[in-house]
Structure 1
């Protein structure tokens, strides 16, 4: 089926999911929309997150997408069930795939979760983890400084290390944690620095790989995979300034600048 896959995120973080989709499904076209103008979503009220997410979804539906990936954890927590009920196409979030990957990895049954204020307050990850294994002990922590730092393009170096070390102080003290879920798709862009702070003994889980695997399985089940031969031309959109978006897209996805089209759009 020649329709594209739609991916939405509050900003650039969903590029970590897009990267995995491109790697695992190299013939599928993606249309990505990052709401950088109104990022971050984490501190926003639930009703506002729902409104913004629905506006992004409406934009992508006009592109005739065949499947929607909600790559933002906060938006997943607040809108996934609503979207799955409302839309006629499959809708996949990032929380359940991340939870399943963490449970496969942990040996001590002690899992840490870091995310935005909205994601942590929603308790979506503890609920997802406990729905699979009620004996898992979950230690969650909001890290509100991470998303703005990524959106500024500060991904490593002394400043990033200092912010991450201060933010993770309390969770680092919990020596029993052997697995840490990056409960925001922005956070994998900080993965190397986060790993340096928490130590090599802690396994870090980002949901991109598992989410892409789930997308592949669902499209295989619905027989909507593209079966021809092509190098797809992806489309990337952002609601705000495109300079940092372009820089991170190029660094993370290793794609040429000219693939990023019509960047400066504003959602009504």
Structure 2
């Protein structure tokens, strides 16, 4: 297969399915051959990311990701994507394993925030406890000189319930709970824009988009960027050149 990209997924599987569904439905097609070429590595056995980030005695998920990336690198994809925010804890170490471009979903999303909402000085952040605990998005947002609002102590339990109890454990999205979280972040904590720092939250946005709040959805953004780059490369652009604009340092 020529001109394909590799998706490092399975964190979790339903969220990865959402990303694949987005790229399949957003690309403009008139025939089978118009779809994108990709290889999906749905490694559902990767240890829990939040568990390790909060407690390093838990299984380290780096080694599973390293094995997946090195295996895919032998096939020479044009670029890598990893539709899991929390797994970006090891982004720098993973990107160093190969010279193949490796898109950073978090940095791409944060830069789109400042491009789309240049007058906003802060952004609300909802994410896994692991991402919050290790300041993954917070550091990226501070790098572009914006403030982060996490909301009050009632927010994280609501977000955790939506991510783990509803989506990861039962495979369902509770639209009422998702909308309640967005409403509280907007009304109670003054967040005009809210960043969805977990791909399960991106799934909630896909399934329950009928709300009035501004969100930055990294998985949706990554899907659009994936389509853009894959089509440029298919049309003859060098992969390194095509990806360069999105490899923020």
- Note the C-alpha offset of 1:89: 0.6
Of 188, 201, 207, which residue of structure 2 is paired with 1:174? 188
Contact 2:47 / 2:61 at 8 angstroms: preserved in 1? no
Of 164, 167, 172, which residue of structure 2 is paired with 1:150? 167
Contact 1:181 / 1:206 at 8 angstroms: preserved in 2? yes
Q: TM-score with structure 1 length normalisation?
A: 0.66
Matches of residues 127-166 of structure 1 in structure 2 within 5 Å?
127-132=139-144, 134=145, 136-140=146-150, 142=156, 143-148=159-164, 149-151=166-168, 152-156=170-174, 161-162=176-177, 164=178
Contact 2:27 / 2:35 at 8 angstroms: preserved in 1? no
Contact 1:161 / 1:193 at 8 angstroms: preserved in 2? no
- Note the C-alpha offset of 1:147: 3.1
Matches of residues 197-216 of structure 1 in structure 2 within 5 Å?
200=212, 202-215=213-226
Contact 1:68 / 1:92 at 8 angstroms: preserved in 2? yes
Output the CA distance in 2 between the equivalents of 1:43 and 1:195.
Answer: 29
Number of residue pairs matched by the alignment: 215
Which residue does the alignment assign to 1:68?
80
Contact 1:27 / 1:226 at 8 angstroms: preserved in 2? no
Per residue, is there more helix in 1 or in 2? 2
Secondary structure in 2 matching 1:125: helix
Contact 1:113 / 1:180 at 8 angstroms: preserved in 2? yes
Deviations 1:115-150 (A, max 9, x none): 112212222222222222x1x221136533333322
Output the CA distance in 2 between the equivalents of 1:167 and 1:204.
Answer: 12
- Note the C-alpha offset of 1:62: 4.7
Deviations 1:21-55 (A, max 9, x none): 44348543121223334464223236713223213
Matches of residues 73-152 of structure 1 in structure 2 within 5 Å?
73-76=85-88, 78-106=89-117, 107-132=119-144, 134=145, 136-140=146-150, 142=156, 143-148=159-164, 149-151=166-168, 152=170
Q: Cα gap change, 1:63/1:146 in structure 2, threshold over 3 Å: closer, same or farther? A: farther
Secondary structure in 2 matching 1:48: coil
- Note the C-alpha offset of 1:73: 0.6
Which residue does the alignment assign to 2:6?
6
Which residue does the alignment assign to 1:28?
36
- Note the C-alpha offset of 1:174: 3.4
Contact 2:127 / 2:197 at 8 angstroms: preserved in 1? yes
- Note the C-alpha offset of 1:186: 1.8
Secondary structure in 1 matching 2:51: coil
Secondary structure in 1 matching 2:96: helix
**Structure 2: any 5+ residue segments left out of the alignment?**
29-33, 237-249
Which of structures 1 and 2 has the larger relative contact order (alpha carbons within 8 angstroms, sep 6+)?
1
Which residue does the alignment assign to 1:17?
19
Deviations 1:140-161 (A, max 9, x none): 36533333322322123xxx63
Secondary structure in 2 matching 1:111: strand
